[in-house]
Amino acid sequence: MKIHLKALGCRLNEAELELWSVQFAKKGHQIVKAADEADVVVLNTCAVTTEATKKSRKLMNRLHRENPQSKLVVSGCYATLEEEDVATRLGVDLVVNNQDKELLPEKVMDAFSANTMPVIAMDPEESSLFQRGKQRAFIKIQDGCRYRCTYCIVTVARGEERSRILADIIGEVNNLHQKGIQEIVLTGVHVGGYGSDIGSSLFELVSALLKNTDVPRIRFASVEPWDLPDAFFLLFENTRLMPHMHLPLQSGADSVLRRMSRRCKIVDFSQLVQQARSAINGFNVTTDIIVGFPGETEKEWRKTLETVENIGFGHIHIFSYSSREGTKAAGLSNQIAVDVKKSRSQELHKLAAKLKNDFYQAQINNTVEVLWESQKTDSEARVRYSGYTPNFCKIETIVANTVLLESKIKKAKLVSFSEDRGVFKA
């Protein structure tokens, strides 16, 4: 069969696509880039916000319109939370909820009578990751979360924490590195909680990866700030660990954090960021902020702006709060008016742009190692490459078309920064 894989939402959804693609390939099936070429289309949905569920529904409809003859398989958080509704939607042939995600390829092959090795099988060693045009690999290290932040529907959809064993993760990383991958990103629902169910920890996992793999660059996806031990940032003395972490703050007011059931106070978060910046020069901390959480007063909002400015971030993902049925926050009183949320969001966007510009400007004239990931033709004889610095700043350069940089790590000098595009020039 020809299989097309599509994901919405988080990096964990992307990592799951890679795991599925490997399993399909081992059975001799082909991963294709275009949905209209596929016999089976697999969509990994998202439900983190109301807007994400709308996008999931729209994409389901579009994929069916583009290729009505294909089998449409839907999984992910939206498909899990609304399983009965999704199963009855036009064009959907199979729903696989999050609890059965690891069995998705097997279920697909069983459902569509294809759980046999074709006569001409695809080489299992061929990297499906490259077929999907990826230059870095997302590694799923765990799933689920034992905490219940009052606004979060994902923990309901994903269930309890389940960690992969060290040997499996190490094996996957080594296999990908042998195929040319230069950077991995450790991802999960609750990355910092890795190992809570198997007697291990994120610290132990990272230490094992540094010892037992040779992949040049190891990076983290989002990590909750309360999970990291005091000695965690000593790991970054090994330069293979990239000096960037996304630490979700969500609010800069302790009173709001309590209503959110967040397990971190502002003073603790600030100290954590200081530890990172003291340990590694140029360490980039990015974050999430939810605007207009129920009951958020003007005083609490001003406190959030003050906290954000005092800490400083290289980038901020800004979300206007949207009520999600099934969460505790949906039943809280004093829901914030849409126009207030819009005004506050605009104010924070303006501050975030200033902080990002300050962070980037401070790095101009530094020479760093860049993983060059993609290219576009700039002129007949020249090519524009883009890539990322160790602290996850995007950078571009223009070279002669005879210079091959893609998937290579090469030093570059940060010459200037375009505030409008958010990109360094080398």
Residue 6's pLDDT is 92
Residues contacting 139, CB < 8 A, separation 6+:
15, 169, 172, 173, 184, 185, 186, 187
CA angle, corner 18, sides to 104 and 423, nearest 5? 140
Q: Does any domain span residue 86? A: yes
Q: Which long-range contacts (CB under 8 A, 24 or more apart) does 403-409 make?
A: 405/372, 405/375, 406/135, 406/372, 406/373, 406/374, 406/375, 407/135, 407/180, 407/182, 407/371, 407/372, 407/373, 408/182, 408/371, 408/372, 409/182, 409/216, 409/217, 409/369, 409/370, 409/371, 409/372
- Total domain count for the chain? 2
Task: Please compute the mean of the pLDDT values over residues 176-180 and round it to a whole number.
Answer: 89
Confirm whether 57 is domain-assigned. yes
Residue with tokens 């605009």: 346
Q: How many CB atoms lie within 10 A of CB 328?
A: 15
The pLDDT tens digits of the residues spanning 94-108 come to 999 998 988 999 999
Q: What value does the mean pLDDT take over residues 193-208?
A: 96
Boundary (domain end) residue, out of 111, 134, 161? 111
Q: Is the pLDDT of residue 112 over 90?
A: no
For residue 215, give the 3-state DSSP assignment: coil
148 inside domain? no
Parent domain of 411: 367-425
Q: Which residues contact 223 (CB under 8 A, 6 or more apart)?
A: 191, 192, 202, 245, 246, 247
* H helical segments located in 133-282: 154-158, 166-178, 202-212, 254-260, 266-279
pLDDT at position 372 is 93
CATH classification at residue 9: 3.40.50.12160
Q: For the chain, what's the residue count?
A: 426
Q: What is the pTM of this model?
A: 0.82
Give the single-character DSSP code of 376: E
Beta bridge partners of 291: 320
Q: How confident is the model at residue 114 (pLDDT cuts 50, 70, 90)?
A: low
Contact 40, 108 (CB under 8 A): yes
**Residue 132: what pLDDT?**
46
Residue 314 domain-assigned?
A: no
pLDDT tens, position by position, 347-369: 999 999 999 999 999 999 999 99
- What are 117-165's pLDDT values in tens digits? 333 333 434 444 444 446 789 999 999 998 889 999 887 788 889 999 9
Q: What are phi and psi of 373, to 5 degrees?
A: -115, -25
Q: Is it the case that residue 287 has pLDDT exceeding 90?
A: yes
Considering the domain boundaries, does residue 222 fall inside one? no
User: Can you give the pLDDT at residue 122?
Assistant: 37
- Dist CA 329 CA 149 (whole Å): 9
State pLDDT tens for residues 384-401: 999 999 999 999 999 998
| Confidence at residue 134, expressed as pLDDT on a 0 to 100 scale | 64
Identify whether 60 is part of a domain: yes
**Summary mean pLDDT of the chain:** 90
220-264, pLDDT tens digit by residue? Answer: 989 999 989 888 999 999 999 999 999 999 999 999 999 999 999
pLDDT at 121: 36
**Domain assignment of residue 399, yes or no:** yes
Tokens of 155: 């923990």
Last residue of a domain, one of 55, 88, 111: 111
Q: What is the pLDDT of residue 136?
A: 84
What is the secondary structure of 98-163 as a DSSP string? GGGGGGHHHHHHHHTT--S--SSPPPTTS-HHHHTT-SSEEEE-EE--S---TT-SHHHHH-S-EE
**What residues contact 371, with CB distance under 8 A and at least 6 apart?**
135, 136, 182, 183, 217, 387, 388, 407, 408, 409
| Those residues with Cβ within 8 angstroms of residue 400's Cβ, 6 or more apart along the chain or in another chain | 381, 382, 383
pLDDT band (50, 70, 90) for residue 345: very high
Q: Which of 54, 80, 111 is the last residue of a domain?
A: 111
Q: Would 246 be classed as within a structural domain? A: no
The per-residue pLDDT for range 48-93, each reduced to its tens digit, is 888 888 999 999 999 999 899 999 999 999 999 989 889 888 889 9
* Backbone φ/ψ region at 295: left (φ over 0), alpha (ψ -120 to 50), beta: left
